[in-house]
């Protein structure tokens, strides 16, 4: 499988061409270092390109201050790794092993030269990428993580570093090697993050580590960007590449890790150009390198909380912690959010046995335990194949009776042939076991309900994105490779059409005729009822929900108008409110969610809605009368627009 860089061990060493060295000489200056003098301190910014003319530069162990590896840099070689492109920090110190003379160029001047000379750029980036890969694979870094398997905060830091391909060392609290013992002693035998030789982070977060590594950029340094890109998934990174290649001053902001949902895939084999496959993180990281080569900057983990447009036409985005960055244009590529299952305590156990990605980091937590993967798409399949290398056994839980419609054929055949993987069809996970960490799950399948001990549950059921329009909204809530979007839109159509018919039929039975307004309102009743359940039910359940909703919501309208004597403008509750409540209850009634979760959510929304409604009524009443004449009430827009008096069927 391909990665984001070449193998440094097997890569042939090729010195820079004479004309490239000459070009560097024109914009650089010579520097001299005595033996033992530091060339780059740990954590210092990569603000210059260093080419060795004579002497030797060695990598220093940040803990012992001794030489870290046998290899070193000699004449015709240059210092640095891929972080140079983004003005990152030196993650390992560098020192002159003997009297050394170098040629040094300011970072921006070197990037401009690389932009003008593509052959030089290719050479430098190839070496930089190979070095970062080597550092990442050998865990050569001044960042040490302790007890990531026991602490959610440390685990988030590890996830951030791993997905951004930043080297780090991960140690166990009960490790017996000298490095683990020394680090645990420094951290007082508690989970934590150590930066450099002796700096222990209090309340570790990805943001704090990013600041240390100069990834949380001083984004306000540029007074005005040409384009601000919000989101670092495939779309955002692609925009960063194109913006930079057109010479635009661009900044991409990402709140988690470059790669988005694609970055969580352990292996992608059906993407053109990678016949042996590539991980999602490596695929998008290549794009990031390409964008940085053109000068695009990346800031992470930062969140855009608000966006305003100034009088001069420019846009200013307010970031977390109150920072502000302005640009002439903004491209929003925020992508999707992981879908969550309606299972009690799921959010509580996220990071403590419940995961939404299957990368190297999560695979480590599967040792000596059975792993459960929920989902029937390619992401779930690749996760199962990847986790089978480390887990005792992998159980794939699929709600349907086949993978044919949702998973690529080559992947389905691999899962079925792997003795370390079992596929459970027509099965759902209905409950989680464990206190502070996941200890087991409950399966509900054809054979009944049974528990399984596991400390690793992977939810790979796609992601959700808000689309415009009611059908698109329901479809967007199911956006996934397993065809969930198509099913959500299908059941939405079925429910809306069925409710429209049953509303009209019920009107005809009760009043002898059906009304145009009734048919339209029945459609809305079906839409409102199916919306909560669109991600959890199939066509037959949608037919049932729509059929009942058409009658139930109509009776609610009659009750509100005739019994409560309330203006039919409040039919919005009888249709939207009652329909939404009914759809939520049906999630539990059909076994797609727990009663506690559905009824609890209804109680919370009910209290909130009641309070807000009372406040709005009081405010409006203080400004304008709420009631009008009976004639206006009865006729209103219904008569002028539809030619009939709504539900009284007298026209």
Please compute the mean of the pLDDT values over residues 303-311 and round it to a whole number.
88
- R_g of the chain computed on alpha carbons: 30
**SS3 call for 329:** strand
The model's pLDDT over 125-178, given as tens digits with 9 standing for 90+, comes to 999 999 999 998 888 888 888 888 778 888 888 888 888 888 998 888 777 777
Rounded distance between C-alpha atoms, residue 384 and residue 372, angstroms: 8
Domains of the chain: 18-138 (2.60.120.10), 143-212 (3.40.30), 219-335 (3.50.50.60), 347-463 (3.50.50.60), 499-648 (1.10.3430.10)
Please compute the mean of the pLDDT values over residues 426-434 and round it to a whole number.
92
Asked if 320 and 405 touch (Cβ cutoff 8 Å), the reply is no
Q: Which of 336-340, 466-470, 487-491 has the highest mean pLDDT?
A: 487-491
Q: 336 or 320: whose pLDDT is higher?
A: 320
Q: Is the pLDDT at 471 greater than 80, yes or no?
A: no
Q: Is the pLDDT at 241 greater than 80, yes or no?
A: yes
pTM exceeding 0.75: no
Burial 466-497 (b: 16+ CB within 10 A, else e): ebeebbbbbbbbbbbbbbbbebbbbbbbbbbb
Rounded distance between C-alpha atoms, residue 324 and residue 319, angstroms: 6
Name the phi and psi angles at 405, rounded to 5.
Answer: -85, -10
- Please state, as a whole number, how many other Cβ atoms lie within 10 Å of the Cβ of residue 85: 28
- What does the H/E/C string look like for 252-304? EECCCCCCHHHHHCCCECCCCCCCCCECHHHHHHHHHHHHHHCCCEEECCCCE
Q: Residue 572 — very low, low, confident or very high, per pLDDT cuts 50/70/90?
A: low
**SS3 call for 152:** helix
Instruction: Reply yes or no: is the peptide bond before residue 301 cis, omega within 30 of 0.
Output: yes
Q: Is the pLDDT at 473 greater than 50, yes or no?
A: no
Burial 144-170 (b: 16+ CB within 10 A, else e): bbbbbbbbebbbbbbbbbbbbbbbbbb
Sign of the CA dihedral running 273, 276, 280, 285: negative
Beta bridge partners of 30: 103
**DSSP character string of 24-68:** HHHH-EEEEE-TT-EEE-TT-B--EEEEEEES-EEEB-TTT-SB-
Torsion of CA 61, 65, 69, 70, to 10 degrees: 170
277 torsion bin: left (phi>0), alpha (psi -120 to 50), beta (else): left
Q: Is the pLDDT at 368 greater than 60, yes or no?
A: yes
Name the phi and psi angles at 283, rounded to 5.
Answer: -60, -50
Rounded distance between C-alpha atoms, residue 567 and residue 286, angstroms: 61
Average pLDDT of every residue of the chain:
83
For the ranges 246-250, 320-324, 589-593, the lowest mean pLDDT is seen at 589-593
10 Å CB burial of residue 385 (0-12, 13-18, 19+) is buried
Q: How many angstroms separate the first and last alpha carbons of the chain?
A: 71
Contacts of 604 by beta carbon, 8 Å cutoff, 6+ apart: none
Contacts of 423 by beta carbon, 8 Å cutoff, 6+ apart: 396, 398, 403, 415, 416
Rounded distance between C-alpha atoms, residue 243 and residue 561, angstroms: 58
Q: Residue 515 — very low, low, confident or very high, per pLDDT cuts 50/70/90?
A: confident
The H-assigned helical ranges of 392-538 are 409-417, 470-476, 484-511, 516-530
The model's pLDDT over 101-112, given as tens digits with 9 standing for 90+, comes to 999 999 999 999
* pLDDT score recorded for residue 567: 53
The model's pLDDT over 613-634, given as tens digits with 9 standing for 90+, comes to 888 888 887 887 665 555 555 5
Rounded distance between C-alpha atoms, residue 475 and residue 583, angstroms: 16
Rounded distance between C-alpha atoms, residue 480 and residue 463, angstroms: 6
Residue 513 Cα to chain centre, angstroms: 52
Q: Is the pLDDT at 187 greater than 80, yes or no?
A: no
558: closest CA among 548, 570, 547, 576? 570
Q: 451 or 269: whose pLDDT is higher?
A: 451
Rounded distance between C-alpha atoms, residue 237 and residue 535, angstroms: 30
Asked if 498 and 543 touch (Cβ cutoff 8 Å), the reply is yes
Sign of the CA dihedral running 365, 274, 244, 22: positive
* pLDDT score recorded for residue 651: 39
The model's pLDDT over 56-99, given as tens digits with 9 standing for 90+, comes to 999 998 888 889 888 899 999 999 999 999 888 898 999 999 99
Q: Where are the beta strands (DSSP E) in 35-168?
A: 38-40, 48-54, 57-59, 94-96, 100-106, 143-146
- Please state, as a whole number, how many other Cβ atoms lie within 10 Å of the Cβ of residue 502: 22
**SS3 call for 609:** helix
Residue 350: DSSP 8-state: B
Rounded distance between C-alpha atoms, residue 317 and residue 285, angstroms: 25
Asked if 389 and 363 touch (Cβ cutoff 8 Å), the reply is yes
Strand order of the β-sheet with 94-96 is: 38-40, 94-96, 57-59
Rounded distance between C-alpha atoms, residue 473 and residue 470, angstroms: 5
**DSSP character string of 305-323:** EEEEE-TTS-EEEEEGGG-
């Amino acid at each position: 499988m391909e990665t984001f860089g070449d193998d440094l061990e097997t890569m042939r060493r090729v010195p820079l061409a004479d004309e490239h060295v000459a070009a560097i000489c024109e914009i650089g200056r010579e520097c001299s270092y005595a033996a033992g003098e530091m060339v780059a301190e740990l954590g210092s910014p990569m603000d210059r390109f260093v080419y060795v003319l004579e002497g030797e530069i060695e990598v220093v162990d940040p803990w012992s201050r001794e030489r870290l590896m046998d290899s070193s840099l000699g004449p015709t070689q240059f210092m640095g790794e891929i972080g140079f492109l983004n003005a990152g920090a030196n993650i390992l110190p560098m020192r002159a092993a003997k009297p050394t003379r170098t040629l040094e160029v300011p970072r921006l001047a070197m990037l401009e030269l690389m932009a003008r000379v593509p052959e030089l750029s290719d050479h430098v980036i190839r070496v930089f990428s190979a070095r970062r890969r080597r550092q990442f694979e050998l865990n050569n870094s001044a960042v040490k993580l302790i007890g990531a398997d026991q602490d959610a905060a440390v685990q988030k830091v590890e996830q951030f570093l791993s997905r951004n391909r930043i080297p780090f060392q991960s140690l166990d609290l009960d490790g017996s090697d000298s490095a683990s013992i020394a680090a645990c002693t420094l951290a007082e035998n508690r989970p934590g993050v150590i930066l450099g030789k002796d700096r222990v982070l209090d309340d570790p977060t990805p943001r704090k580590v990013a600041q240390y590594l100069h990834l949380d950029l001083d984004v306000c340094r540029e007074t005005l960007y040409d384009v601000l890109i919000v989101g670092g998934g495939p779309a955002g990174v692609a925009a960063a590449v194109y913006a930079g290649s057109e010479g635009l001053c661009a900044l991409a902001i990402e709140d988690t890790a470059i790669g988005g949902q694609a970055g969580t895939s352990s292996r992608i084999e059906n993407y053109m150009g990678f016949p042996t496959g590539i991980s999602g993180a490596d695929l998008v990281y290549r794009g990031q390198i390409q964008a940085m080569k053109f000068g695009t900057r990346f800031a992470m983990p930062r969140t855009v909380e608000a966006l305003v447009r100034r009088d001069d036409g420019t846009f200013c985005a307010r970031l977390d912690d109150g920072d502000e960055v302005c640009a002439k244009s903004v491209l929003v590529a925020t992508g999707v959010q992981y879908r969550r299952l309606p299972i009690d305590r799921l959010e509580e156990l996220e990071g403590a046995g419940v995961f939404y990605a299957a990368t190297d980091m999560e695979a480590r937590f599967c040792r000596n335990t059975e792993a459960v993967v929920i989902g029937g798409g390619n992401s779930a399949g690749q996760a199962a194949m990847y986790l089978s290398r480390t887990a005792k056994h992998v159980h794939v839980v699929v709600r349907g009776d086949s993978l044919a419609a949702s998973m690529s054929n080559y992947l389905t055949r691999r899962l079925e042939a792997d003795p370390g993987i079992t596929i459970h069809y027509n099965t759902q996970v209905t409950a989680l076991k464990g206190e502070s960490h996941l200890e087991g799950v409950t399966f509900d399948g054809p054979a009944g309900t049974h528990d399984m001990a596991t400390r690793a549950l992977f939810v790979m059921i796609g992601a959700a994105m808000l689309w415009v329009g009611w059908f698109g909204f329901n479809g967007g809530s199911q956006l996934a490779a397993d065809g969930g979007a198509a099913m959500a839109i299908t059941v939405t159509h079925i429910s809306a059409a069925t409710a429209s018919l049953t509303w009209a039929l019920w009107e005809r039975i009760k009043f002898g005729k059906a009304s145009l307004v009734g048919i339209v309102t029945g459609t809305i009743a079906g839409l409102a009822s199916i919306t909560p359940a669109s991600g959890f039910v199939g066509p037959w359940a949608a037919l049932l929900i729509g059929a009942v909703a058409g009658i139930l919501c109509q009776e609610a309208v009659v009750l509100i108008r005739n019994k409560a004597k309330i203006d039919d403008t409040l039919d919005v509750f009888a249709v939207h409110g009652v329909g939404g409540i009914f759809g939520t209850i049906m999630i539990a009634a059909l076994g797609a969610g727990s009663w506690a979760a559905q009824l609890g959510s209804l109680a919370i929304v009910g209290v909130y809605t009641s309070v807000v409604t009372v406040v709005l009524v009081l405010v409006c009443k203080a400004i304008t009368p709420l009631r009008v004449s009976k004639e206006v009430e009865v006729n209103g827009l219904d008569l002028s627009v539809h030619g009939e008096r709504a539900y009284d069927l007298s026209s």
